[in-house]
Structure 1
Amino acid sequence: MREQKYVIELQNATKSYGEAEAKTFAMQSVNLQVEHGEFLAVMGPSGSGKSTTMNIIGCLDTLSGGEYLFEGVNVGLLSQDQRALLRRNYIGFIFQGFNLLGKTTAVENVELPLLYRGYGVHERREMAMEALRSVGLEHVAHHTPGELSGGQQQRVAIARAIVTNPLILLADEPTGNLDTAKSIEIMELLRSFNKEKGITVLMVTHEMDMAKYASRRVFFRDGSIEKSEAEEQGL
């Protein structure tokens, strides 16, 4: 991979549910191009199509019409197993609710994606500890989520998302459960991975203060892109 200018391209992408008069559109003719190394904030009111778009990009759902290209590959032509491999090998996910296993230590939570990839025990542990070091949490590696603050749990979730060195990070309201100070910590982390590691970041957020960390913002309304704007000032 890495020959294409765009890591993600949506071309007249449409997602509908139901038939005939009952048909509703979650996405309507969405055209979006994301370059390697971009930090994109996806914004819009509830029901605007932004979460559906992220699910399509994350290979968690499929289009009803149009095309989704990942590194120039038409994802719509891939089998379910091939989409699962694409998701596992190239995409990292960060969720608002952290989605950590409650009775499992931080380092074991971070190891999970490596387990699915078939890495050995020692290599998994070494890579997971390095990921925890990158988010400043090696000292709580053997703590369970219940022993960590909300900000620490989200940083563990970020370590889990980046441990496989993904091509893109999809972050769904990553600061939604955090106070302002912890939110800034998380955004600084995401920006550092974007700038220093070149990881492409796509983030859904309702918060303009958080969206300002992105290099570009795309606004959804009624299933379509309403406008797109670049961050001129930076932070």
Structure 2
Amino acid sequence: MTQEMKRSVIELHEVVKSYGEKEAATYALRGVNLKITQGEFVAIMGPSGSGKSTAMNIIGCLDTLSSGSYLFGGVDVGNLSLDERTLLRRNYIGFIFQGFNLLGKTTAIENVELPLLYRGFPAHKRHEMAMEALKSVGLEDVAHHTPGELSGGQQQRVAIARAIVTDPFILLADEPTGNLDTAKSIEIMNLLQSFNRDKGITIIMVTHENEMAAYASRIIRFRDGGIDKTYEEKITT
């Protein structure tokens, strides 16, 4: 199936994000138009201040736009209440962060169980699903170790297991290899690529590393609050 025939998961239409008012206003996004289809692996790149992180926060329902529209699976996110956006984020989006964001005094499996706890799963089901997620990233043997007992690469794999344990609609990865050496970075990217290929999870990744972006099926470069169309056309032809 071609990308054109696949259903759009993310659609940004003329999205503007500004801070302040009138002459004092500053713009993080200036009329961004973007479509991401089901099953894509997209890398978002750009210099500091280009708008890439703001776009990621809007897609992840961590921030709201100033004008324009954002459709998630055909649903206009701008029409949702705060509680509805929270439920959308909790039930359909997985997050992977550069800093891992693991709870230091809890075990790997307890960290992975956390999203399931928020969704009200009973303890036995949480444990079963978390162990399966850890197995999928090759860490079932360290399920009862705390983050301090794991390497950086292992901690990031725990974070990935936590992100995919709820079988998310999309996976947002913010500099997922930023704190890792080259070997561990390749390991993590191969893992993400396998989830995209084998499970069909749509992945949107912010990165500043060309080597990591090369694992994606499409690269989008932001510049000055918008998408650099010249660059995108150049790499996709």
Q: Compute the TM-score of the two structures, normalised by the length of structure 1.
A: 0.96
C-alpha distance in 2 between matches for 1:200 and 1:59: 16
Task: Name stretches of at least 5 consecutive residues in structure 1 with no aligned partner.
Answer: none
The answer to which of 122-131 and 220-229 deviates more is 220-229
Query: Could you give the per-residue CA deviations for residues 45-85 of structure 1, whole angstroms, max 9, x where no partner exists?
Result: 00000000000000001110000000111000000000000
2:30 alignment counterpart: 28
Match of 2:223 among 213, 221, 231: 221
Q: Which amino acid aligns with 2:126?
A: R
The alpha-carbon deviation at position 230 of structure 1 amounts to 8.3
Q: Any conservation in 2 of the 1:218–1:229 contact (CA below 8 Å)?
A: no
2:3 alignment counterpart: none
2:176 alignment counterpart: 174
1:106 alignment counterpart: 108
Q: Which amino acid aligns with 1:111?
A: E
Identity between Structure 1 and Structure 2 (%): 75
SS in 1 for 2:141: helix
Please give the root-mean-square deviation of Cα atoms over the aligned residues, in Å.
Answer: 1.3
Query: Could you give the per-residue CA deviations for residues 154-177 of structure 1, whole angstroms, max 9, x where no partner exists?
Result: 000000000000010000000000
Q: Which amino acid aligns with 1:143?
A: H
Q: 1:229 to 1:190 in 2, by over 3 A?
A: farther
1:56 alignment counterpart: 58
* Match status 1:17 vs 2:6: no
SS in 2 for 1:13: strand
C-alpha distance in 1 between matches for 2:32 and 2:43: 16
Match of 2:203 among 201, 205, 208: 201
2:46 alignment counterpart: 44
Query: Could you give the per-residue CA deviations for residues 183-220 of structure 1, whole angstroms, max 9, x where no partner exists?
Result: 00000000000000000000000000000000000000
**How many residues of Structure 1 are paired with residues of Structure 2 in the alignment?**
230
Match of 1:212 among 188, 211, 214: 214
C-alpha distance in 1 between matches for 2:11 and 2:21: 27
1:152 alignment counterpart: 154
C-alpha distance in 2 between matches for 1:230 and 1:34: 18
Match of 1:143 among 117, 137, 145: 145
SS in 2 for 1:132: helix
Q: Any conservation in 2 of the 1:216–1:230 contact (CA below 8 Å)?
A: no
Where do 1:69-108 residues align within 5 Å?
A: 69-108=71-110
C-alpha distance in 2 between matches for 1:96 and 1:229: 29
C-alpha distance in 2 between matches for 1:230 and 1:175: 26
2:118 alignment counterpart: 116
C-alpha distance in 2 between matches for 1:159 and 1:230: 35
SS in 2 for 1:55: helix
Q: Any conservation in 2 of the 1:216–1:229 contact (CA below 8 Å)?
A: no
Q: Any conservation in 2 of the 1:30–1:225 contact (CA below 8 Å)?
A: yes
C-alpha distance in 2 between matches for 1:148 and 1:27: 38
Q: 1:229 to 1:197 in 2, by over 3 A?
A: farther
Q: 1:101 to 1:230 in 2, by over 3 A?
A: farther
Q: Compute the TM-score of the two structures, normalised by the length of structure 2.
A: 0.95
1:5 alignment counterpart: 7
Q: 1:197 to 1:230 in 2, by over 3 A?
A: farther
Task: Name stretches of at least 5 consecutive residues in structure 2 with no aligned partner.
Answer: 1-5
